[in-house]
Every structure is written in C-alpha cells, then in structure tokens.
Structure 1
Amino acid sequence: MADAEKTLLPKLEFFCSTGISRMDLARTLSYDPALLKISLQNRIIPAYNYLKSLLLSEDKVMKILKNKPWIFLENLSKNVVPNIELLRELGMPPSGIALLLAHAPNIVMKKHELFSEIVGEVKELGFEPMKSSFVSAIRVLSGKKTIWSRSSEAYRKWGWSEDDILSAFKLNPMCMTNSEKKIMETMEFLVNKMGWPSASIAKYPTVVCLSLEGRIIPRCSVVKVLFSKGLMVEENFSLASVLCPAEKPFLERFVIRYLDQIPQLSNVYKRKVDIHDIDD
C-alpha cells in the first residue's frame, strides 16, 4: 500500500501546482487512478515539462491533464516523441504541433509506424505541413474508416463524384467528420430550399460544417427576403459570400444596409419574424 505522505501527497501537490482545481483533479484521478501509481520524478514531471515545451502554455497542459490524462501514463519516448519529431522534420510549425496535441493528443500517441503512414498519406494528398489543414487532415484520417465511408455515401446521394469528395476534403478536411444526418439536412436545405446546385457546395465544403439552425437558416432567410423585394437582383453574391463571412461583415452587407427599406429584416435574421410575415 502506498505511503500517503511520501508518494501520494507530493503528486497531489504537483498536480495542484499546475492550476487544476481540486474538483477537477478529483474527477481526473477517480477516472484514471493509475496516475497516482506512476513515478512523479521519472514520468509525471518529465511528461508535464515536455508537453509544456510544445504547447507553450500551462493552461493547455492543465486542460490535457483534466480531459485526456492518459498521455501522462505513456512512455513518451516510445511513440509521442518520435511522432512529434516527424512533424518537425516535415516543417510543421510549433503552432501546428500544439494544435494537434491540444485537440487530439491520442493521435500523437499512436504507434510510430501507423502515425508515419497517416502523415505520409496526408502529405501525398497535397496538404502542406505549414498549414492548419494538415493537422485537420491527420485528425480525419486517424479516425475510423467507417466515418469516412458514411460521409462519402451521404455526399454521393447528392450527386458528388469521388473527385468532388476528395476535392472537398482537401479544401476542408472536417467536412468528412459530419454525421449523415447533418450532411443530409444541410444539403436538403441548401439544394432543395435555396436552389444552390449540389456541385457548387462541393466547392465550399466549409458550409456543410456550419450550424444549420444557428447560421445557415437565419442568413438564408435574410437572402430570401431580399430576393422577394427585388433588392438583390444586381448583387454579385455566392454561397460563400452569404454563409462564410463572420457575423459583422454579413450583417453590414446583407442586413444593416437594407433596414431603411425593410425595418423587420433584423428580426428575420434573429428568427423572431417569419419571412412570410414581412409586409409586401
């Protein structure tokens, strides 16, 4: 049985020194009590310092400790260190490595041979290690093959070819992680209710990742009103110009500038007024 004062107390004190709250620490240790069995000096502190050198933030290391503590149980020199070194050799900047480590530390824990294969596949597809999309592609291709198959099948139902799917993946890898329900509902709305060609959506796959209720429908409702009033006849707009901009630029272009003509337009955007209730 562990000597509480000699072995457990120093570990608890160290974990608390990282900034994790006592409540979160209690949850973490109850979820993975093996953290109290490994060596503080030989495993926990070296792992913490290594992660901190990569993440450049104590807060980010604390979040990993709180949410994905199993990386501290790993012998980092076996897979994690070689995997990180591979990314460095390819030219991935510290920000990219930190991004992958912060959001998916389980991926850098994969066996080095498997990790190398995934990274090689991402590179062959034309992704550049200097860009964040390289990290996103690693995350997607590290996932279950069934997820890719499910997403591909959903897009094919809307007429996308294999080239369309691959092109969309290259533009935004995360479009291949959406659920079938999310893909089908978004495509149904954009194609059947808004009239955008399915092939054009393949050119802007980011839109499939956006919230249907929180972003797509409110913005498209505004566009429908503007069309019904004949105010966008000469507007040079596209799917991307409506759905991709941040909120402020969208509001300035499509809402604020038309409030004199359509005072209720702001409420249409906020979904407080149905487009059919706008006065003619």
Structure 2
Amino acid sequence: MTYLPSHPRVLLADPEKTLSPEIEFLSSVGLSRVDLARVLSFNPYLLSRSLENQIVPSYNFLRNMISQKNVVAVLKRKSWMFLENHSRNVMPNIEALRELGMPRACISLLLAHDTQVLMHNYDELVQLVNEVKGMRFDLKKSTFVVALRALCGKSSRAIWNRNREIYKRSWGWSDDDVISAFRKSPQCMILSEKKIMQTMDFLVNKMGWSASMIPTHPIILCFSLENRIIPKCSVVKVLMKKGLVDEKLSLTDVDLMGIGEEEKRKKDEAELQN
C-alpha cells in the first residue's frame, strides 16, 4: 500500500476499534471504494485521528456550511481539512469574513473549493480581503472568492505577478488593462503561461483581433482552445468569407461565453444551498 512508507504506524492501529469504524464512516458519507482508497493512500493520517473527536466533528462542521456533494469533494481533494483544529484556524477567519460582509454563499464557496485561503493567518487574511476590495471587487460575488485565491499565498502571488508580466511584455497590456481583466474575470490571472500564450496567439495572430481588445472580454482566455474557442471561431471565419458578417466583427460580438459570469455565479451559489 502506498501510504505505508509515509505513515507506517497505521499498521499498529486496531483494525476493529480504529480502522474499521473510520473506513465505514468515510464510506457512509459518499466516498466510493476507489475514492476511499485514493484518499487514504494520499492522507493515511486520517486513520490515526479519533473518529469521534476529529473526523466526525470535521464532517459536521463542513456539512453545516456546504452541501453533501461538496463535503465529499473536499474529502477527495483536500482531506487534510479533516485533520485541522477548526476552532483555532478556520472559524476565526470565517467570522472575520462575515463581519466584513461576505455572504454565506461565498464563504461556502471558499470552504468547498479554496479551503487553503481560510487556513491563512487571521491578520493576513483581513489584509488580503481589504486589498481585493481596493481593486473594486464586490464582496458579495463569487469573483471575490476567485480573486482571494489568486492572491493568497506566496506561490499564488508569484503566478499572478508572472501572468501580469506576460500580458504586458508579450501582448502590450497596460497595468490598467491587467487590473480591468482581473476584475472582470479573475481566473485569467491564474492560468498557466502556456494556456495564456496559446490562446492569445490564436485570437490575435490567427483571428486578427487586437490584443488590447481581450481585457474587455477576458473570460474567453479561460475557455478550452481546442473544444470551444477554435470551433466557434472557425464558424465565424466561414461566415466572414461568405460575407455574412462584417470582417471587422469585434470579439464582444462573438458568442463565446455560453453561460455568462453572473449566471454561473447564481448556479454555483444555488448548488451550495443544496
């Protein structure tokens, strides 16, 4: 088993009193056998924590805030949350966000998808929230949550700074363009360098749109180039050749969005209430 080298003491655990009850509980909340094996291989320390004093209280804490489906998602992606002292780390930050005006839906979104943000130092988190508010993000919208993730921690901040330089150096964006794009679609600042360069190259050099146009519609950078952008743009090219649309058609005139950002926010928040 892959977890033995990292946590060999699991072999000393009582299979009837410790291992079996914890495995049964984790299975009962919705983890499949395959998912359970993966979770325990990645985080064998779950098996050494008290079911009654740690695992179940952690589950109840999360379930009180987010849907059963999202609790399972946290278990699969961030099972270390079940090892934390929530009263010491997470709850003070949740209370701070509530006092600052963040609605329950956005806090739930953080718990379900960006849990690491809530593990940061209390003072650092408050400072980060104020920084994001200073960029004119709305605390009551899901884009605020994505912006927090994009700027939270040294590694995330390094990616944000790297992408800012890519947009400026390679595509001629100004600092105002970067902030404007970030406000409209914060996901565009957490993409890989390869994704940014390939998508910008296609839109600018293949489709002929101005690089300065992209910050007005930055959500397009987050879509799949192969599965969404290229197929739709291929249709646009055919229509242009046939003279059915203006060759100066702007990016904002092309239906590349599908579900708009506001509709997506409402869908995400509705799911969290389930």
Give TM-score, length-normalised by structure 2. 0.83
Corresponding residue pairs, total: 245
Residue 197 (structure 2) aligned to one of 166, 172, 184: 184
In 2, Cα distance between equivalents of 1:207 and 1:243: 10
Report Cα offsets for 1:116-159 as digits up to 9, x if no partner. Answer: 22222112211111111101101101152221122112111211
Does 2:91 align with 1:42? no
1:21 CA drift (Å)? 1.7
Evaluate the alpha carbon distance shift between residue 117 and residue 232 of structure 1 in structure 2; reply closer, same or farther with a 3 A threshold: same
Report Cα offsets for 1:206-225 as digits up to 9, x if no partner. Answer: 11112222122211221111
Report Cα offsets for 1:81-101 as digits up to 9, x if no partner. Answer: 111112222222222122221
Does 2:218 align with 1:205? yes
1:192 CA drift (Å)? 2.0
Evaluate the alpha carbon distance shift between residue 99 and residue 236 of structure 1 in structure 2; reply closer, same or farther with a 3 A threshold: farther
User: Which consecutive residues of structure 1, in runs of 5 or more, have no partner in the other structure?
Assistant: 248-280
Q: Tell me what 1:231 maps to.
A: 244
In 1, Cα distance between equivalents of 2:197 and 2:237: 21
In 2, Cα distance between equivalents of 1:202 and 1:59: 35
Evaluate the alpha carbon distance shift between residue 190 and residue 2 of structure 1 in structure 2; reply closer, same or farther with a 3 A threshold: closer
Does 2:40 align with 1:29? yes
**Structure 1 runs of 4+ with >6 Å offset:** none
In 1, Cα distance between equivalents of 2:118 and 2:204: 39
* Contact residue 158 and residue 198 of structure 1 kept, 8 A: yes
1:243 CA drift (Å)? 4.2
Q: Tell me what 2:166 maps to.
A: 154
- Larger relative contact order (Cα-Cα within 8 Å, sequence gap ≥ 6): 2
Q: Tell me what 2:263 maps to.
A: none
Q: Tell me what 1:95 maps to.
A: 105
In 2, Cα distance between equivalents of 1:245 and 1:185: 18
Q: Tell me what 1:166 maps to.
A: 179
Identity of aligned residues (%): 53
CA RMSD of aligned residues (A): 1.9
Evaluate the alpha carbon distance shift between residue 23 and residue 189 of structure 1 in structure 2; reply closer, same or farther with a 3 A threshold: closer
In 2, Cα distance between equivalents of 1:123 and 1:182: 28
User: Which consecutive residues of structure 2, in runs of 5 or more, have no partner in the other structure?
Assistant: 1-11, 260-274
Give TM-score, length-normalised by structure 1. 0.81
In 2, Cα distance between equivalents of 1:27 and 1:222: 43
* Contact residue 32 and residue 70 of structure 1 kept, 8 A: yes
In 1, Cα distance between equivalents of 2:202 and 2:175: 22
Larger Rg: 1
Report Cα offsets for 1:221-267 as digits up to 9, x if no partner. Answer: 2111111111113x9953123143429xxxxxxxxxxxxxxxxxxxx
1:74 CA drift (Å)? 0.6
In 1, Cα distance between equivalents of 2:205 and 2:73: 42
